[in-house]
């Protein structure tokens, strides 16, 4: 099919006309032949089977029957009327029912002519009926392209009302093929087609609309999915290569005094192999002269902080400053305390900047940043304010990236002649290729190993009715010298309700664990930062036994002696949040526990979440379930990216194929960077078109 053919406006297709064209455009965004061809079915119905009326059972779903309309009548209802046809075959009778479109039907339905009907059957007071059946004269039915599996197209209410049924859409698609044939320009190279045993593009396009068997359909889907993912990867990798060639960065080629001193004298433990590996990747990346833009994924507790710190030391060794931005003040303070302590014996100046840093302090701090005497700045959002100016910021690290938008990230870049190297750390892991696809501009490093000696956290699910047993368990743990978190959900929209929940919870915990024997800390979003810090510190120092909190503790705090995490109303948390919270315990040598408290009535998704949490500690596994439950659309910063509006492939379900597509795209660009080999001509053409349209999807001719 020639490209110009497919750009033909849809109203020129036989059977469309201006009215239908307008509806197709407004409802489905279909403007051209090509758009219609890319309106793929979302499921298929087996149409090889014809039922007889006697074969129908109460649980029958969608069925196809051949018979005749023997009688037609209008039955009055409270409002309006319904049209009821008696439909018969040799084995029995049933009813067809319409609530609209009577006039047309009464004028056009032929009594006693053989029809093929299709639809969902209902069983009501002893009789089978089919509301709004698809209906076709047997003689016409026999002339259509024979399809074993009837495609079902995504549609809308308005289209249904305008009588643009599934069958009509299917006929229009058929019309395009009849008019133009199925000789589509190939977009893949002969070698790719043969290596992956892919069917040609025209056959695939035809088959996805009119599959002759499930096997052929699978082949068509595989081919089209591969193509879709392959071109996404091709574009991403291409863009990435350009980016690397273009965006220059500081060259950090010395691993010097500070790094080495810290590594040999002050590192309190041996790095895990994963930490070493990741550090090597980062070092290499910062040494090349291109700007680093890297995502560091690592499960909670995998030890990202030390990697961040050592990366900052590399910056300092090369004569630059570094900053680390945390999503909450508590976290920023924790990083400050932890990092200051680790660097205590060294000659490095570390500073903290948050929203509550006093003006006078700020002035001194600004001065130190400008003259370069402050080497490391830790803080919150406050450090991207315009008043903060560095002498030479060489590295920006962002902790728990899901709290920061892309815009904020790039704000950090504006402060330099060259953009600083950027390391984004996240404990919400997603499969690597998926991450690279969603965050196309980032390289990805993964810490896939926990420090040694960690005991797996035991997770249980308990109903509210078992609360007394849970209290007893908590008391036993406190007796053993452990500390406990009790966490309540936080819903931004109803801060007052959350506050009440939290206070009710606090009171019941306080009643159960009375002073002076027991000490309780409380932290929530409505407290002043200073009060939060005070309460937090009492818990960190071990002065209090229980920390009652909203999710402000969700990310990052580190209290190794805390061994029990009780999560109240656990059904109100998402999986990744639950996993983050659980990650607050299990940091010391003791056996740790996570107790998920819920009401007794749980929806299916909530049940799946509880089961997932009790059955695994693996953040990657949890992330995958989470993605399946929520869909990837929820992932930070990706909602508007458009990258998720795939036509055939699914980034989650087709993750394996995504990996395959990426490696083929990589190999291709390595061997033929300009796509100039004759074998790759089809790819080059499709790719050029795609770049021209600045869209990942409009590349198809």
Query: What is the contact surface with Mg ion in residues (CB under 5 A)?
Result: 556
d(CA 286, CA 420): 10
Q: Report which of 556, 557, 552 is spatially closest to residue 499, judged by C-alpha positions.
A: 552
Q: Supply 263's token pair.
A: 């590594």
Residue of this chain nearest to ligand ADP (CB atom): 303
d(CA 422, CA 244): 14
- Does the protein bind ligand ADP through residue 302 (CB under 6 A)? yes
Q: Least distance from C-beta 626 to Mg ion, angstroms?
A: 19
549 neighbors 343 (Cβ within 8 angstroms) = no
CB-nearer residue toward Mg ion: 211 or 556: 556
CB-nearer residue toward Mg ion: 505 or 556: 556
Would you give the DSSP letter of residue 636?
T
In terms of C-beta density within 10 A (0-12 exposed, 13-18 middle, 19 or more buried), how is residue 15 classed?
Answer: exposed
Place of tokens 């129908």: 56
- Does the protein bind ligand ADP through residue 304 (CB under 6 A)? yes
Q: Residue 52 binds which entry of Mg ion, ligand ADP, none, with Cβ cut-offs from 5 to 8 Å by kind?
A: none
566 neighbors 595 (Cβ within 8 angstroms) = yes
- Does the protein bind ligand ADP through residue 561 (CB under 6 A)? no
Q: Supply 512's token pair.
A: 């159960």
Q: Least distance from C-beta 387 to ligand ADP, angstroms?
A: 29
Q: Supply 631's token pair.
A: 């869909």
Q: Which of 83, 343, 377, 427 binds ligand ADP (CB under 6 A)?
A: 427
CB-nearer residue toward Mg ion: 121 or 430: 430
Q: Residue 592 binds which entry of ligand ADP, Mg ion, none, with Cβ cut-offs from 5 to 8 Å by kind?
A: none
- Does the protein bind ligand ADP through residue 208 (CB under 6 A)? no
- Does the protein bind ligand ADP through residue 455 (CB under 6 A)? no
Of 203-211, 266-274, 474-482, 498-506, which segment contacts ligand ADP by CB under 6 A? 266-274
Q: Report which of 591, 343, 363, 581 is spatially closest to residue 458, judged by C-alpha positions.
A: 591
Q: Which of 8, 174, 558, 569 binds ligand ADP (CB under 6 A)?
A: 558
> Is residue 297 helix, strand or coil?
strand
- Pairing, β 321-325 against β 134-137: unpaired
Q: Which of 306, 351, 395, 610 binds ligand ADP (CB under 6 A)?
A: 306
Q: Least distance from C-beta 451 to ligand ADP, angstroms?
A: 3
Q: Least distance from C-beta 512 to Mg ion, angstroms?
A: 31
Q: Supply 471's token pair.
A: 């209290």
Contacts of 644 (CB under 8 A, 6+ apart): 632, 633, 638, 651
In terms of C-beta density within 10 A (0-12 exposed, 13-18 middle, 19 or more buried), how is residue 63 classed?
Answer: buried
CB-nearer residue toward ligand ADP: 443 or 449: 449
Q: Residue 543 binds which entry of ligand ADP, Mg ion, none, with Cβ cut-offs from 5 to 8 Å by kind?
A: none
For residue 400, CA distances in Å to 426, 532, 540 come to 5, 20, 21
Q: Which of 298, 394, 505, 632 binds ligand ADP (CB under 6 A)?
A: 298
Contacts of 175 (CB under 8 A, 6+ apart): 13, 14, 15
Q: Residue 300 binds which entry of Mg ion, ligand ADP, none, with Cβ cut-offs from 5 to 8 Å by kind?
A: ligand ADP
Q: Which of 50, 99, 104, 269 binds ligand ADP (CB under 6 A)?
A: 269
Of 139-147, 178-186, 242-250, 297-305, which segment contacts ligand ADP by CB under 6 A? 297-305
Q: Which of 131, 451, 525, 574 binds ligand ADP (CB under 6 A)?
A: 451
Helices (H), 200-328: 201-209, 214-246, 257-261, 273-286, 304-317
CB-nearer residue toward Mg ion: 419 or 556: 556
Q: Least distance from C-beta 532 to ligand ADP, angstroms?
A: 19
- Does the protein bind ligand ADP through residue 300 (CB under 6 A)? yes
520 neighbors 509 (Cβ within 8 angstroms) = yes
Q: Report which of 547, 565, 539, 543 is spatially closest to residue 506, judged by C-alpha positions.
A: 547
CB-nearer residue toward Mg ion: 249 or 556: 556
Q: Which of 145, 199, 271, 418 binds ligand ADP (CB under 6 A)?
A: 271
- Does the protein bind ligand ADP through residue 305 (CB under 6 A)? yes
Q: CB atoms < 10 A from the CB of 424, how many?
A: 22
d(CA 40, CA 676): 32
- Does the protein bind ligand ADP through residue 275 (CB under 6 A)? yes
Of 116-124, 128-136, 153-161, 299-307, which segment contacts ligand ADP by CB under 6 A? 299-307
Q: Residue 6 binds which entry of Mg ion, ligand ADP, none, with Cβ cut-offs from 5 to 8 Å by kind?
A: none
Q: Which residues pair with 150 in a beta bridge?
A: 45
Q: Give the rounded distance of the alpha carbon of 221 from its chain centre.
A: 22
d(CA 426, CA 430): 10
Q: Least distance from C-beta 60 to ligand ADP, angstroms?
A: 54
Total residues interacting with ligand ADP, rule: CB under 6 A: 18
CB-nearer residue toward ligand ADP: 176 or 585: 585
d(CA 474, CA 247): 54
CB-nearer residue toward Mg ion: 425 or 661: 425
304 neighbors 298 (Cβ within 8 angstroms) = yes
φ, ψ for residue 255 (rounded to 5)?
-105, 105
CB-nearer residue toward ligand ADP: 278 or 306: 306
Of 220-228, 298-306, 632-640, 665-673, which segment contacts ligand ADP by CB under 6 A? 298-306
CB-nearer residue toward ligand ADP: 18 or 452: 452
Q: Least distance from C-beta 304 to Mg ion, angstroms?
A: 5
Q: Which residues pair with 283 in a beta bridge?
A: none
CB-nearer residue toward ligand ADP: 285 or 305: 305
Binding site for ligand ADP (CB under 6 A): 269-272, 275, 298, 300-306, 427, 451, 558, 560, 587
């Amino acid at each position: 099919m020639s490209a110009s053919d497919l750009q033909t406006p849809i109203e020129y297709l036989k059977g469309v006309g201006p009215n239908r064209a307008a509806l197709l455009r407004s409802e489905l965004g279909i403007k051209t032949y090509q758009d219609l061809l890319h309106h793929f079915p979302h499921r298929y119905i087996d149409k090889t089977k014809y039922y007889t009326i006697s074969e129908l059972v109460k649980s029958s779903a969608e069925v196809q029957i051949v018979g005749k309309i023997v009688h037609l009548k209008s039955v009055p209802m409270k409002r309006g009327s319904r049209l009821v046809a008696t439909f018969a075959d040799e084995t029995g009778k049933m009813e067809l029912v319409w609530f609209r479109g009577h006039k047309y039907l009464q004028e056009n339905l032929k009594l006693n002519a053989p029809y093929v009907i299709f639809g969902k059957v209902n069983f009501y007071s002893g009789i089978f009926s089919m509301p709004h059946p698809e209906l076709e004269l047997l003689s016409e039915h026999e002339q259509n392209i024979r399809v074993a599996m009837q495609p079902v197209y995504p549609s809308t209410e308005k289209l249904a009302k305008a009588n643009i049924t599934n069958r009509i859409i299917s006929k229009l698609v058929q019309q395009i093929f009849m008019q133009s044939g199925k000789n589509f320009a190939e977009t893949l190279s002969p070698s790719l087609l043969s290596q992956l045993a892919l069917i040609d593009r025209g056959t695939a396009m035809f088959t996805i609309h009119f599959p002759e068997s499930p096997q052929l359909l699978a082949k068509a889907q595989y081919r089209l999915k591969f193509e879709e993912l392959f071109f996404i990867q091709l574009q991403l990798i291409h863009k990435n290569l350009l980016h690397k060639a273009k965006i220059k960065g500081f060259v950090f080629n010395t691993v010097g005094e500070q790094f080495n001193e810290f590594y040999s004298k002050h590192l309190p433990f041996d790095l895990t192999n994963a930490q070493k590996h990741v550090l090597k990747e980062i070092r290499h990346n910062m040494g090349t002269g291109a700007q680093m833009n890297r995502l560091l994924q690592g499960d909670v507790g995998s030890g990202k902080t030390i990697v961040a710190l050592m990366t900052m030391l590399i910056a300092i060794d090369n004569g630059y400053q570094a900053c680390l931005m945390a999503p909450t003040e508590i976290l920023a303070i924790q990083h400050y305390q932890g990092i200051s302590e680790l660097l205590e014996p060294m000659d490095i100046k570390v500073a903290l900047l948050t929203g509550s840093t006093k003006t006078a302090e700020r002035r001194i701090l600004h001065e130190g940043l400008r003259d370069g005497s402050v080497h490391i700045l830790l803080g919150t959002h406050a450090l991207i304010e315009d008043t903060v100016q560095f002498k030479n910021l060489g590295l920006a690290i962002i902790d728990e990236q899901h709290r920061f938008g892309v815009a904020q990230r790039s704000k950090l870049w504006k402060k330099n002649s060259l953009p600083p190297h950027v390391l984004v750390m996240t404990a919400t892991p997603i499969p690597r290729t998926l991450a690279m696809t969603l965050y196309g501009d980032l390289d990805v490093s993964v810490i896939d190993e926990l420090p040694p000696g960690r005991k797996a956290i035991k997770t249980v699910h308990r109903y509210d009715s078992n609360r007394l047993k849970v209290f007893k368990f908590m008391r036993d743990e406190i007796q053993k010298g452990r500390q406990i978190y009790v966490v309540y959900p936080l819903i931004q929209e109803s801060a007052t309700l959350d506050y009440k929940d939290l206070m009710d919870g606090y009171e019941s915990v306080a009643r159960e664990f009375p002073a002076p024997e027991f000490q309780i800390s409380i932290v929530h979003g409505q407290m002043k930062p200073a009060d939060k810090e005070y309460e937090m510190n009492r818990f960190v120092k071990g002065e209090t036994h229980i920390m009652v909190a909203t999710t402000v503790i969700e990310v990052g705090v580190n209290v190794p002696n805390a061994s029990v995490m009780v999560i109240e109303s656990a059904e109100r948390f998402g999986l990744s949040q639950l996993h983050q919270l659980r990650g607050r315990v299990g940091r010391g040598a003791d056996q740790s526990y996570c107790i998920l408290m819920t009401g007794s009535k749980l929806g299916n998704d909530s049940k799946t979440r509880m089961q997932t949490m009790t059955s695994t500690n693996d953040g990657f596994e949890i992330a995958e379930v989470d993605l399946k439950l929520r869909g990837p659309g929820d992932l930070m910063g990706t909602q508007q990216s458009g990258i998720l509006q795939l036509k055939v492939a699914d980034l989650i379900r087709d993750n394996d194929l995504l990996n395959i597509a990426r490696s083929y795209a990589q190999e291709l660009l390595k061997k033929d960077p300009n796509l100039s080999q004759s074998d790759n001509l089809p790819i080059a053409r499709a790719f050029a078109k795609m770049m021209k349209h600045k869209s990942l999807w409009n590349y198809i001719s």
